[in-house]
């Protein structure tokens, strides 16, 4: 096992693998320019950064949905083929508006996300109607098959290890379709960014949908989760719902119809170096000084979230109101700032949630504000520099989700904060397993407990604040998003090496590093796998 820090460019693997990522949201967005060319914008997400570094030394193909109009035009102009973009290879999948709507706005986000974050009020919702079933068949299944087909068609003839990493709940059926097309010559290793709840939560899904998801994931070689708890829940869910699935006492392995599938935790992290750099940029410094002017001498209680029911923003506001009622000495001395970015507004629940947040914040301000003090300020918008600026200044960072795969805000905040701020962290955030010891624990449903935790943080002795903040910063610095990804590649490579040594099949000729460039240039690959493989 090679050693590396998160800031390394990337490890050298003994066997040069072809790495394929599949995700709904891709690494780049395109917009058409007047001269017919395209402007490329690189996404800011951690996965993009991790793969960007890896792509400097290894061949990386990313398959994603065309989301914007520009993405569609770009894919069309390139006849839906693999193209080289900023050191990676990219293929965008175009689907019809209806198919995308059904996949994203009927199945993936409203149904699976809500099940996995346990957000349903089951006496009323969800109702799985004819429309849902139609969206499953004509949106979700179709899109997943499109992804698998696009991946299979893009794979060149090579004897190098091929590792395919489908990301998240949008692509649950991809492993099944891939295995059908490619057989055992590839390592399939999905990673699930969101929580995997225990068997009970999955009873909401009709049996055939549930079984299709589990059987597909069990066509993988290993499934990556944020925490050991998620991995264990997956094992239990498979055992509970699939009669042929057994774990033989193991907490992290499922045996299903001759296949041994590992369930492993790879806790995701942030790009430490990049976040530290952004914190120092002039744009961020300017925002810091503007925020300092606005906060004055008050203690800052900060939250930074997508507008997302699972983030529990409403109960956070409720707790703040209760704090001002229970501990009047904090009135005028604290400032709550919520930086909220709109998300998934095509889903009704998200629109309703934003409306309720604004109403609750308005009620708090109406009840407590005076001519010098507005207790809550909500800023809606996507401004990462502002988020990083505010994180430097918090006295309390409130992270109280009902459920969260990891929660990167907790890690970003711990890294950049300058005030020895206190992290209030939900016991149901994945980050709790790494950071919980040095945070104040919040049970997301317990308003009273949250009030007490805020009060405790506001009155915490400076040396305790310092001790906790330093410990948190140290933990975040130790791990980063590159290591998160390299660990997955390492495991897949190890497995593919042992698989190769078991196989007595004859070797195909070694392909060059630029094997993908034949598809990139538009020439058809002569190695498109057939269904019989």
Q: Give residues with Cβ within 8 angstroms of 46, minimum separation 6.
A: 268, 269, 270, 271, 408, 481, 484
Q: Give residues with Cβ within 8 angstroms of 114, minimum separation 6.
A: 120, 126, 349
Would you count residue 433 as binding ligand ADP (CB under 6 A)? no
| 339 CB-contact burial (10 Å; exposed 0-12 / middle 13-18 / buried 19+) | buried
- Smallest CA-to-CA distance from 10 within 516, 511, 476, 487 is with 487
Tokens of 410: 């907790």
Stretch that binds ligand ADP, among 184-192, 206-214, 317-325, 405-413 (CB under 6 A): 405-413
Would you count residue 217 as binding ligand ADP (CB under 6 A)? no
Nearer to ligand ADP, 384 or 433 (CB): 384
Q: How far is the CB of 493 from ligand F6P (least distance, A)?
A: 24
Would you count residue 339 as binding ligand ADP (CB under 6 A)? yes
Stretch that binds ligand ADP, among 202-210, 279-287, 339-347, 483-491 (CB under 6 A): 339-347
Q: d(Cα 463, Cα 470) in Å, to the nearest integer?
A: 11
Nearer to ligand ADP, 348 or 382 (CB): 382
Q: How far is the CB of 27 from ligand F6P (least distance, A)?
A: 12
Provide φ and ψ at 265, rounded to 5°: -90, 130
Would you count residue 88 as binding ligand ADP (CB under 6 A)? no
For residues 225 and 251, the answer to whether their CB atoms sit within 8 Å is no
Would you count residue 179 as binding ligand F6P (CB under 6 A)? no
Would you count residue 25 as binding ligand F6P (CB under 6 A)? yes
Select the binding partner of residue 25 from ligand F6P, ligand ADP, none (C-beta < 5 to 8 A, by kind). ligand F6P
Instruction: Measure Cα distances from 262 to 31, 218, 240 in Å.
Output: 40, 9, 17
Asked if the bond preceding 54 is cis, omega within 30° of 0, the reply is no
Q: Where are the strands (E) in 52-183, listed by range? A: 59-65, 83-85, 88-93, 162-166
Nearer to ligand ADP, 275 or 493 (CB): 275
Single out the residue of 188, 408, 414, 440 in contact with ligand ADP (rule: CB under 6 A).
Answer: 408
Pairing of strands 59-65, 88-93: parallel
Site for ligand ADP in 299-338 (CB under 6 A): 304-306
Q: d(Cα 147, Cα 135) in Å, to the nearest integer?
A: 17
Percent of residues in the chain assigned helix, strand, coil, to nearest 5 = 50, 20, 35
Select the binding partner of residue 384 from ligand F6P, ligand ADP, none (C-beta < 5 to 8 A, by kind). ligand ADP
Tokens of 290: 């503007």
Single out the residue of 382, 427, 437, 533 in contact with ligand ADP (rule: CB under 6 A).
Answer: 382
Q: How far is the CB of 217 from ligand ADP (least distance, A)?
A: 21
Single out the residue of 407, 420, 518, 519 in contact with ligand ADP (rule: CB under 6 A).
Answer: 407
Site for ligand ADP in 341-370 (CB under 6 A): 341
Select the binding partner of residue 340 from ligand ADP, ligand F6P, none (C-beta < 5 to 8 A, by kind). ligand ADP
Q: Rounded to the nearest 10 degrees, how much is the dihedral formed by the CA atoms of 511, 21, 58, 261? A: -80
The binding track of 339-358 with respect to ligand F6P, each residue x by CB under 6 A or -, is ----xx--------------
Select the binding partner of residue 168 from ligand ADP, ligand F6P, none (C-beta < 5 to 8 A, by kind). ligand F6P
Site of interaction with ligand ADP (CB under 6 A): 304-306, 339-341, 382-384, 387, 406-409, 412
Site of interaction with ligand F6P (CB under 6 A): 24-25, 167-168, 193-194, 343-344
């Amino acid at each position: 096992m090679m050693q590396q820090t998160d800031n390394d460019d990337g490890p050298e693997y003994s066997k040069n693998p072809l790495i394929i990522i599949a995700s709904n949201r891709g690494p780049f967005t395109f917009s058409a320019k007047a001269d017919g060319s395209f402007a490329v914008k690189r996404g800011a997400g951690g996965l993009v950064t991790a793969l960007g570094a890896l792509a400097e030394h290894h061949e990386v193909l990313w398959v994603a949905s065309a989301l914007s109009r520009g993405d569609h035009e770009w894919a069309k102009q390139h006849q839906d083929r693999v193209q080289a973009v900023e050191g990676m290879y990219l293929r965008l999948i175009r689907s019809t508006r209806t198919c995308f709507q059904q996949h994203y706005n009927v199945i993936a986000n409203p149904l699976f996300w809500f099940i996995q974050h346990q957000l349903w009020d089951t006496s009323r919702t969800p109702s799985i109607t004819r429309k849902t079933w139609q969206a499953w068949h004509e949106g979700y299944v179709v899109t997943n098959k499109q992804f698998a087909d696009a991946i299979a068609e893009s794979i060149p003839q090579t004897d190098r290890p091929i590792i395919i990493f489908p990301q998240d709940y949008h692509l649950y059926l991809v492993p099944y379709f891939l295995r059908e097309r490619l057989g055992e010559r590839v390592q399939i290793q999905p990673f699930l960014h969101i929580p995997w709840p225990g068997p009970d939560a999955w009873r909401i899904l009709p049996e055939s949908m549930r079984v299709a998801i589990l059987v597909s994931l069990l066509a993988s070689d290993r499934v990556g989760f944020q925490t050991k708890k998620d991995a264990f829940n997956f094992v239990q869910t498979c055992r509970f719902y699939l009669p042929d699935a057994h774990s033989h006492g193991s907490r992290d392995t499922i045996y299903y119809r001759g296949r041994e599938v590992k369930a492993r935790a790879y806790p995701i992290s942030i790009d430490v170096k990049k976040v530290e750099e952004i914190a120092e940029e002039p744009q961020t410094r300017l925002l810091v000084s503007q925020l300092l002017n606005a906060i004055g001498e008050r203690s800052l209680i900060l939250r930074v979230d997508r507008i997302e029911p699972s983030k529990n923003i409403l109960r956070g506001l409720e707790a703040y109101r209760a704090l001002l009622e229970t501990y009047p000495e904090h009135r005028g001395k604290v400032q709550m700032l919520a930086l909220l970015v709109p998300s998934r507004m095509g889903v009704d629940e998200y629109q309703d949630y934003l409306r309720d947040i604004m109403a609750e914040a308005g009620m708090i301000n109406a009840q407590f504000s005076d001519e010098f003090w507005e207790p809550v300020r909500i800023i809606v918008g996507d401004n990462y520099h502002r988020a990083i600026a505010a994180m430097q200044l918090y006295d309390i960072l409130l992270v109280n989700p009902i459920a969260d795969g990891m929660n990167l805000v907790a890690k970003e905040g711990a890294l950049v904060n300058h005030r020895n701020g206190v992290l209030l962290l939900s016991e149901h955030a994945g980050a709790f397993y790494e950071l919980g010891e040095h945070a104040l624990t919040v049970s997301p449903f317990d308003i009273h407990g949250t009030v007490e935790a805020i009060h405790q943080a506001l009155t915490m002795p400076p040396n305790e604040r310092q001790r906790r903040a330093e410990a948190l910063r140290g933990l975040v610095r130790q791990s980063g998003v590159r290591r998160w990804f390299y660990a997955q590649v390492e495991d897949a490579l190890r497995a593919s090496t042992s698989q190769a040594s078991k196989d007595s099949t004859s070797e195909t000729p070694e392909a060059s590093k630029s094997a993908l460039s034949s598809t990139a240039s538009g020439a058809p690959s002569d190695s498109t796998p057939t269904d019989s493989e």
